[in-house]
C-alpha cells in the first residue's frame, strides 16, 4: 500500500485566497474536559483533493452526486514533463493506445510543500481530450491544479467538463514508480459541495474486485 495523500500539517499552504488550513484546539482533558477535540478550518481544495464538476460548472454535479465509483479501480502512474508550463499530448507518446480509466501524472512536485508552489506544471486542454479519447475518466496530478495559477479561463478544467473527466489534484507521487495500480481515493463525504480533501492510496494492480473498472 502506498499513501499518495499530502499530510495536512500546521501551516499547510493553500491556494492563494483560500482559507488557511488550521486545527484549533477544542475540548482538552488537561482543562478538565472528558476528551480532546479539534476545530477544523480549511478550504474544500486543501492538499490532496477532488474537484466536483460544480467547482467549474454551475450546472455540474456536486460531490455527493458524483459517487465513489470513479475514484476506485485500475489506474496508471506516469512521469511527465511540462513544455512551456503545460503537460502536452506528446507526454503520452510511449503509452498504450488504450489507458486505464484513471491516469495519475507525476510532474515532479515534492512530497511536502513548505510554501504554495506558484510555478507548477498545468495541463494542456488537448492532453485532457486525448486521454479521454483513450478511455480515461479520472485524471490526477501532483500539482495543485490542472490549470495555471493565474488562469481565469480554466481551459483544462473546462476540457474535463466537456469530456466527462473528473479531477484529482495535489497528489503526493514522489518516489512512486510508474506503472499500473489500483487506486483507492476517498473524498470526505460532504454534501452539496464543490470538492473535498481526500485520502488516496495505491494498491497492487488487481487487488480490488472488478479488474480495470
Give CA torsion, residues 113, 120, 43, 31, to 10 deg.
Answer: 0
Q: Rounded to two decimals, what is the model's pTM?
A: 0.95
Give 4-13 pLDDT, tens digit per residue: 999 998 889 9
Distance in angstroms (rounded) separating the CA atoms of residues 103 and 110: 19
State residue 102's pLDDT score: 98
Instruction: Tell me the C-alpha to C-alpha distance, in Å, between residue 54 and each of 3, 41, 51, 156, 158.
Output: 27, 22, 8, 15, 11
**158 given a catalytic annotation:** no
pLDDT of residue 210: 74
Does pLDDT of 211 surpass 70?
no
Average pLDDT over residues 134-149: 98
Among the options 12, 41, 55, 158, which is catalytic? 55
Asked if 116 contacts 15 with a C-beta cutoff of 8 angstroms, the reply is: yes
Please report which confidence band the pLDDT of residue 209 belongs to, taking 50, 70 and 90 as the band edges: confident
Annotated binding site: 15, 45, 49, 51, 157, 169
Confidence of residue 212 (pLDDT cuts 50, 70, 90): low
**Sequence-distant (≥ 6) Cβ neighbours of residue 117 within 8 angstroms:** 109, 143, 144
Q: Binding site for Zn(2+): which residues?
A: 45, 49, 51, 157, 169
Phi and psi at residue 64, in whole multiples of 5°?
A: -70, -10
> Hey, is 54 helix, strand or coil?
helix
Tens-place pLDDT, residues 57-103 = 999 999 999 999 999 999 999 999 999 999 999 999 999 999 999 99
pLDDT tens digits, 19-52: 889 999 999 999 999 999 999 999 999 999 999 9
Q: Judge contact between 88 and 126, C-beta under 8 A.
A: yes
| Cell numbers describing residue 41 | 478550518
- Pick one of 3.20.20.70, 3.50.30.50, 2.40.128.110, 2.130.10.10 as the CATH number of 2-6+44-204: 3.50.30.50
Amino acid at each position: 500500500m502506498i499513501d499518495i495523500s499530502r499530510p495536512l500539517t500546521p501551516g499547510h499552504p493553500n491556494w492563494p485566497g483560500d482559507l488557511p488550513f488550521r486545527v484549533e484546539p477544542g475540548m482538552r482533558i488537561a482543562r478538565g474536559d472528558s476528551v480532546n477535540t479539534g476545530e477544523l478550518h480549511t478550504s474544500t481544495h486543501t492538499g490532496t483533493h477532488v474537484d466536483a464538476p460544480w467547482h467549474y460548472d454551475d450546472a455540474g454535479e456536486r460531490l455527493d452526486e458524483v459517487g465513489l465509483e470513479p475514484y476506485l479501480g485500475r489506474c496508471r502512474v506516469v512521469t511527465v514533463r511540462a513544455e512551456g508550463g503545460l503537460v502536452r499530448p506528446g507526454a503520452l507518446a510511449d503509452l498504450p493506445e488504450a489507458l486505464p480509466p484513471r491516469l495519475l501524472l507525476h510532474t515532479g512536485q515534492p512530497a511536502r510543500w513548505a510554501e504554495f508552489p506558484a510555478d507548477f506544471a498545468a495541463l494542456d486542454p488537448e492532453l485532457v481530450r486525448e486521454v479521454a479519447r483513450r478511455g480515461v475518466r479520472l485524471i490526477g496530478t501532483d500539482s495543485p491544479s490542472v490549470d495555471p495559477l493565474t488562469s481565469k479561463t480554466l481551459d483544462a478544467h473546462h476540457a474535463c467538463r466537456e469530456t466527462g473527466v473528473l479531477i484529482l489534484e495535489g497528489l503526493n507521487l514522489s518516489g512512486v514508480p510508474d506503472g499500473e495500480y489500483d487506486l483507492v481515493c476517498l473524498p470526505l463525504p460532504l454534501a452539496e459541495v464543490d470538492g473535498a480533501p481526500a485520502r488516496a492510496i495505491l494498491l497492487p494492480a488487481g487487488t480490488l474486485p472488478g479488474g480495470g473498472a
